[in-house]
Chain A
Amino acid sequence: MSQGRGLVIGTSGVLAALAVAVVLVTREPAAGVAAGPRALTVAGVLGASDGGADGFARALEPRPFHFPEDHGPHPDFRAEWWYWTGNLETADGRAFGYQFTLFRSALTAQAPARGSAWGSRQVFMGHFTLTDVRAGRFHAAERFSRAAVGLAGATATPFHVWLQDWEVRGASDMEPWPMYLRAQADGVALALTLEPGKPAVAQGDRGLSQKGPEQGNASYYYSFPRMPSRGTVTVGSESFAVTGDSWMDREWSTSALGAGQVGWDWFSLQLSDGSELMEYQLRREDGTADPYSAGLWIPPTGEPVRLTREDVKLEVLDTWRSPRGATYPSRWRVQVPKRRLDLTVTPRLADQELVLSFRYWEGAVSLEGTREGQPVKGRGYVELTGYADARVPGDTALR
């Protein structure tokens, strides 16, 4: 039996040795999972763009706007946007609101010349929303693309700014007006013809909109405050002929949110008496309005009037808690005592929160109140950023 034991011991020994060898050979190195920004997400690609303003042009002093050239891109500045919002209605009173924004963001100030046409330092982001007031639905879509190989871009003559099939195009090579806006996403489509309406107004100091105390922390900013609009809204299989008024903002800069600024509340209000009010409040961490908050009052005719933070009293009457977490102000009393203006601003739909790469609230509002003692009504758009995310579009304080 001793030989038998030898056999058993020997065999077990060999088996054990083999098993150990196999374990050694097939052992996997532990897969380390590193923390850090997610790769190849849009935020990852764009987020790193706050690498400083070196090499970019800065908005230092007022400059006259030239059209149509300034409708086109300003690639030397880090960020720029073409911003349309508007309230539309069918003949029988069905109301829609829309936002159509194309953001340009430069990743770096300079980039080497490339053999490939895909090489680009400019990236476009697009947001398109439609508020269907009667159905109580809010549709929002987002897109990104580099400004290369014709996928996205902007030109002044002819006026054209596009991101894939989302676009706004001028009437002809030299004439931007009327503009044709076209966007569609997920069964919702918008096709509008935009007339200039009231002439362009320069925001801030002759178009230089200061956002903070440092020199250059400013943008160039002009608006078309009331653009008669007509066209078609499509929701699913239904199409509606609509008319209404749009508001167009154009802004470019190389500035960022200043220290202590966490977001902004922006109002563009079109009153039934033919006047408009624009107001933005930069919010500080402690909830107060930053001194660089500003506004503009545009009478039905005549020169616009700049408003300082002290000129405007903004009072939150109500808040709305998003099912996705954040709490936004959702009704306001806006007073401009110097102009004897007293308005109550109410969202046409509570939930107009954009849950995209950046979370913010931007939606159609209605308003009523008095001006110089006379009752007025009106419509407008409100944008609320910095409530849900620390991040805000483009990471820059443009409004």
Chain B
Amino acid sequence: MNALLRRASLRHLGKHPWLTALSLLGIALGVAVVVSIDLASGSALSAFERSTDLVAGRATHQLVGGTSGLPEGVYTALRLRADAPLAAPVVEGTVQADLGDRRALTVLGVDPFAEAPFRDFASGGAVGNVTGLLTRPGAALLGERAARALGLGTGDTLPVTVAGTRRDLHVVALLAPRDERAARALESLVLMDVSSAQELLGQVGRLSRIDLRLTDGEAEAQRLTATLPPGVELTRPSARAGTVEQMTRAFRTNLTALSLLALVVGMFLIYNTMTFSVVQRRGQLGRLRAMGLTRGELFAMVLGEASVLALVGTTAGMLMGVLMARGLLGLVTQTINDLYFVVDARRLTLTPFTLGKGLALGLGATLAAALVPAWEAARSTPVTTMRRSTLEDTSRRRAPGLALLGLGVLAVGVGLLAWPTPALTPAYAGLFAVLLGASLEVPWVTEKLTTGAARPLGALFGPLGRMAARGVTASLSRTAVALAALMVAVATTVGVGLMVSSFRGTVESWLEASLQADVFISPPSLVARRGDATLLPGLAERVRATPGVQTSSSIRVTQVRAQGVPTDLMAIDFAAGHRPYRLKEGDAERVWRELDASADALLVSEPFGFHRGVHLGDTVTLATDRGPHAFHVVGVYFDYGSDVGTLLMPRATYTRWFDDRGVSGVALYAQPGQDVDALVARVRERAAGAQALQVRANRVLRQTSMEVFDRTFTITQVLRLLAIAVAFVGVLSALMALQLERAREYAVLRAMGLTPGQLWGMVSLQTGLLGLLAGLFSVPLGGALAYVLVHVINQRSFGWTLRLTVSPGVLWQAVVLALVAAALAGLYPAWKMARARPALALREE
């Protein structure tokens, strides 16, 4: 009997090869999107972890300082002590290769004599003369792979750019790492002596940190802490990797959620295919039941078919996922680079866990989607299964019930969304519940609408119009699924589109408010949103004194440990009369007065306040060069530059607590009547020299900022397109199934005298109607989705207040998109139906 069932299943799948192929494609696409996002963001993160691991080595603790590291004397004093712990000085920074693929390179400056207990860079060996490291300025070691990629060998010169200044490094030896992991980490690393690294990075006299190995555990750590000079703090290296993980968590969660949407659309597809196969074979199933097959066996048969599809589809999906991930990796890395930190991921990290996750998701989703059809197949009695109309009757009868259930699910979703918690998971659960609830409403609403539409369509197109409308209702079990799939996909695009445009609008108006100066000068920076490179000493003063400048401000962007977590800090020397910051908490006049008057007042950005639960009147403890100090929060300001949050203090306060005197950027306000372009030219002239500075007029900077913004959303747009692709495949397969199923009905119509053209028109009208409905449904759902994305998901992920703006353009696009998708998907089935020879179709059964 089993063999018979297997053959029956195979024959059925084989009889509709295109439908089967489409459903395979649907599963594959859904799985591929999930796997590729997972792989790409996982690979980017693990590339970063690998390089931090390599760089942190076996240190158990680290000594760290204020914003500009520690004075090197701390290390000497430590080593000259009788009970000196194992310690190694580290100078770290980032440069950009000035040849080849212009990759970002982490410069690690170490003392070879202190390294052995901490890091082994090249157990495999190195080729070249290592002596030069200490004596030759700019001497560097490169990993073999990086050297090969850059076309360099021992003895060659590696030109690099550091904050706009070009410098030459000398490759004195190549490192041959011992394993693949080390090899990857070395791909973006330049190893130098402390001396050369200090000179290259402009950190003469300072160390980025001191690595320690404390053998005696906490007791030794405490003893050591007691003897440290003020401004030097003992931390654990794991804190850093953890921060990175945390920093990008929201970003990665959102990508994953978006990718899951694609899978959800894929699930509709599976549901559709399996239902179709059950409906198609209602006769056969009935006969099998009549022959004595149990319900369990039929249930198993349908699930068995589904699992074969799932297995093949998922396998294809995972393979496609890997391919897509290769393409997405660049996008994800670019986005992380724009937003957070420099990471250089050039290879995918394939882990069994990621692939296992993809497999489980693919199989699970397919089987879950096949459960209902399998149950349908098993449930029916031998007699009723034979009648198709029963199924449609049941569908229609069930529609109000489903709608009620949908209302319940919607209520649960709204409840989850309204649940006041900072966690993202319930928010996404709520979002998916809303999508599911809305889908459950589809059959009932569709029935009502099409019944209502029959009359006007009839008036417009005659009986054919009426038939087209009624046809939708008549095969509700099939149309509703196609509609729901298309609706979810289009609503996703609407929601994400509205979210991005709202975000964009908010950022645009924020930029307008905060970029008030006429000319901005800064060295190029590797992380677009965080310009922490500094101007050469004296250059800032020179630029600020350019004739034609009425007033000017300077900014220093750097990192400080706030409550132990590295946080961006902006120190601003305000231009007279200009305070281009809008406050969320605090009264402007009082805030600026207090900032100027107090020696330890600061502002926190909205995301900082959100993530750390800090508000007006609280204090934030910063690790300053004078030791830890609690600063008063006198206000919370709007900032969309960093999703992890920033701190802001006047330059005077910064100078008081930190030794760093660097300037990261200067903003100039032109005198009234001064031509800005002329001013830009004059500034360029004055600043010309060793450092290539970016001198940008207000308009240009705003434009560049928006470009960066758009770039960070590229990956989101790509995901949106992928979801549409899956939905398109879904609609195509649903319509094909629908039309194939009605082959007989159409044959009857043809036999009754309908011309092929008329039939084609009717079928197209019907698919068009479906598209229009899906488009209409997706507008409110998309709006709701946008609301949730902007006010719940974004708020919880990043802590930003965004203004939701509904652009009619996006809504129109949605309707048009749905119409076009349905029309395109309906072309082939309509053409096929129109061409079918009625006699053949009639003979079919």
Chain A positions near chain B (C-beta within 8 angstroms): 1, 3-8, 10-11, 14-15, 18-19, 21-22, 25-26, 28-29, 31-42, 44-46, 48-49, 51, 107-108, 111-112, 114-121, 123, 144-146, 148-151, 164-165, 184
Q: Which of B17, B81, B134, B137 has most chain A Cβ within 10 Å?
A: B134
Q: How far is the CA of A32 from the CA of B186 in the complex (A)?
A: 14
Hey, which chain B residues are within 8 Å of A111, CB to CB? 135-136
Which residue from chain B places its CB closest to the CB of A39 in the assembled complex? B126
Nearest residue (CB) in A for B77 is A150
Q: Chain A residues near B726: list those with CB within 8 A.
A: none
A/B interface sample: 8 pairs, CB < 8 A: A4-B15, A5-B14, A6-B17, A7-B13, A39-B122, A112-B137, A117-B204, A119-B134
Residues from chain B with a CB closer than 8 A to the CB of A120 are 134-135, 195
Which 7 pairs across A and B sit closest by C-beta, in order of nearness? A4-B14, A39-B126, A118-B195, A18-B319, A119-B195, A48-B131, A116-B195
Interface residue B115 (Cβ < 8 Å from any Cβ of A): yes
Residues of A within 8 A of B121 (CB): 39-40
Query: Of B11, B82, B124, B347, which is within 8 A of A34 by CB?
Result: B124
Pair A25/B195 contact, Cβ less than 8 Å: no
A121, B137: Cα distance in complex, Å: 11
When distances are taken between beta carbons in the complex, the residues of chain B under 8 Å from A26 are: 322, 326, 347-348, 350
Q: Are A39 and B17 in contact (CB under 8 A)?
A: no
Contact A11 B115 (CB under 8 A): no
Docked Cα-Cα span, A51 to B205, in Å, equals 31
Q: How far, in angstroms, from A268 to B639 measured CA to CA in the complex?
A: 76
Which of A4, A21, A28, A118 gathers most chain B CB within 10 Å? A118
Q: Given A33-B176, A38-B123, A118-B193, does the pair A18, B320 have CB atoms closer than 8 Å? A: yes
Is residue B125 within 8 Å, beta carbon to beta carbon, of the partner chain? yes
A46: chain B residues within 8 A (beta carbon): 131
Task: Find B141's partner among A8, A39, A107 (CB 8 Å cutoff).
Answer: A39
Q: Which residues of A contact B179 (CB under 8 A)?
A: 31
Nearest chain B CB to A15 CB, angstrom units? 6
Closest chain A residue to B17 by CB distance? A7
What separation, in Å, do the CA atoms of A179 and B194 have in the docked complex? 33
Are B323 and A21 interface neighbours, CB within 8 A? yes
Given known pairs A25-B322, A26-B350, A40-B115, the reply for A107 and B125 (CB within 8 Å) is: no
Cα-based distance from A26 to B351 in the complex (angstroms):
12
Contact for B20 among A7, A39, A123, A146, CB less than 8 A: A7
Contact A38 B126 (CB under 8 A): yes
Contact B125 A114 (CB under 8 A): no
Q: Is the CB of A37 within 8 A of B125?
A: yes
Inter-chain contact A51/B196, CB cutoff 8 Å:
no
B749 to chain A, nearest CB (A): 26
Most buried by B among A10, A116, A121: A116
Q: Which of B21, B133, B315, B347 contacts A45 (CB 8 A)?
A: B133
- A118 and B198: CB pair below 8 A? yes
Contact B131 A51 (CB under 8 A): yes
- Since A3-B17, A26-B347 are in contact, a sample of 20 more A-B pairs with Cβ atoms closer than 8 Å, ordered by chain A residue number, is A6-B17, A11-B24, A15-B319, A19-B319, A33-B176, A34-B174, A39-B173, A40-B110, A42-B116, A45-B113, A116-B196, A116-B204, A118-B111, A119-B135, A119-B193, A119-B199, A121-B134, A145-B113, A150-B76, A151-B76
B177 touches A (CB below 8 Å): yes
Interface residues of B in 346-361 (CB under 8 A from A): 347-348, 350
* A11 contacts B326, C-beta separation under 8 Å: no
| Cα A312 to Cα B92 with chains together (Å) | 58
Q: Report whether A107 and B20 are in contact in the complex, using a CB–CB cutoff of 8 Å.
A: no
| B130-A39 in contact (CB<8A) | yes
Over the window 283-297 of chain B, the binary record of Cβ atoms lying under 8 Å from chain A Cβ atoms (1 yes, 0 no) is: 000000000000000
B111 / chain A contacts, CB cutoff of 8 Å: 118, 146
A4→B11 contact, CB < 8 A = yes
Closest chain B CB from A183 CB (angstroms): 10
**Contact A44–B194 (Cβ < 8 Å):** no
B80 within 8 A of A: yes
Given A40-B115, A119-B135: A164 and B20 within 8 A (CB)?
A: no
Chain A residues in 8 Å Cβ range of B312:
11, 15
Assembly CA distance A291 to B459 (angstroms): 124
Interface residues of chain B, those whose CB is within 8 Å of chain A, are 10-11, 13-15, 17, 20-21, 24, 72-73, 75-76, 79-82, 84, 110-116, 120-131, 133-137, 141, 144-145, 173-180, 183, 191, 193-196, 198-199, 204-205, 312, 315-316, 319-320, 322-323, 326, 347-348, 350
Q: Are B20 and A116 in contact (CB under 8 A)?
A: no
Contacts of A1 in B (CB 8 A): 11, 14
- Of A5, A19, A116, A144, the residue contacting B199 (CB under 8 A) is A116
Contacts of B84 in A (CB 8 A): 164-165
Evaluate contact between B316 and A36: CB separation under 8 angstroms.
no
Closest to B14 in A: A4
| B639: min CB distance to chain A, Å | 37
CB distance from A335 to the nearest CB of B (A): 44
Would A150 and B199 count as touching, CB distance under 8 A?
no
Query: Which of B21, B131, B179, B205 gathers the greatest number of chain A CB atoms within 10 Å?
Result: B131
B135 touches A22 (CB 8 A): no
**Contact present for B72 and A118 (CB under 8 Å):** yes
Q: A11-B21, A21-B319, A108-B131 are in contact. Are A36 and B13 (CB under 8 A)?
A: no
Q: Are B131 and A49 in contact (CB under 8 A)?
A: yes
A40 touches B323 (CB 8 A): no
- Cross-chain contact of B17 among A10, A29, A36, A114 (Cβ < 8 A): A10
CA–CA, A319 and B247, complex, Å: 65
Q: Are A116 and B112 within 8 A (Cβ)?
A: no
Contacts A39-B175, A42-B112, A119-B137 given: A33-B124 contact, CB under 8 Å?
yes
**Closest approach, in angstroms, between the C-beta of B801 and any C-beta of chain A?**
42
In the complex the two chains form, is A114's CB within 8 Å of B137's CB?
Answer: yes
With a 10 A CB-CB cut-off, give which of A5, A6, A39, A151 has the most chain B CB atoms. Answer: A39
B residues in contact with A6, CB < 8 Å: 17
CA–CA, A111 to B193, complex, Å? 15
A34 / chain B contacts, CB cutoff of 8 Å: 124-127, 144, 174, 176
- Contact between B80 and A165, CB atoms less than 8 A apart: yes
Contacts of A29 in B (CB 8 A): 145
Residues of A within 8 A of B72 (CB): 117-118, 149
- CB pair B13 A14 closer than 8 Å: no
A4–B115 Cα distance when bound, in Å, is 65
How far apart are A294's CB and chain B's nearest CB, in angstroms?
32
* A98 vs B400: C-alpha distance when bound (angstroms): 97
CB proximity of B462 to chain A, nearest CB, Å: 38
Inter-subunit contact B112/A15 (CB<8 Å):
no
Report how far A15 CA is from B316 CA in the complex, Å.
Answer: 6
In the complex formed, the residue of A with least CB distance to B79 is A164
Instruction: Tell me which residues across on chain B come within 8 A of A35, comparing CB atoms.
Output: 125
Q: Is B21 within 8 A of A116, CB to CB?
A: no
A184 contacts B82, CB within 8 Å?
A: yes
Question: In whole angstroms, how far apart are the Cα atoms of A11 and B316 in the complex?
Answer: 9
B319 near A22: Cβ-Cβ < 8 Å = yes
Kindly list chain B residues whose C-beta atoms are within 8 Å of the C-beta of A31: 144-145, 176-177, 179-180, 183
**B133→A32 contact, CB < 8 A:** no
Q: Which residues of A contact B127 (CB under 8 A)?
A: 34, 36
Cβ contacts under 8 Å, B82 to chain A? 165, 184
Q: Is the CB of B176 within 8 A of A48?
A: no
Q: How far is the CA of A184 from the CA of B20 in the complex (A)?
A: 78
Distance in angstroms between the alpha carbons of A46 and B129 in the assembled complex: 10
When A45-B112, A117-B72 are in contact, do A37 and B204 touch as well, CB less than 8 Å? no
Residue A48 contacts which of B129, B196, B326 (CB distance < 8 angstroms)?
A: B129
Contacts of A114 in B (CB 8 A): 137, 195, 199
Which residues on A sit within 8 Å (CB–CB) of B124? Answer: 33-34
CA distance A29 to B183 in the complex (A): 11
User: A394 vs B113: C-alpha distance in the bound complex, in angstroms?
Assistant: 16
Within the complex, which residue of A33, A44, A149 is in contact with B75, where a contact is CB–CB below 8 Å? A149
Closest to A38 in B: B125
Bound complex: CA A111 to CA B139 (Å): 13
B340 shortest CB reach to chain A, Å: 26
A10, A115, A145: the one within 8 Å of B198 (CB): A115
A355 to B120, CA, bound (A): 21
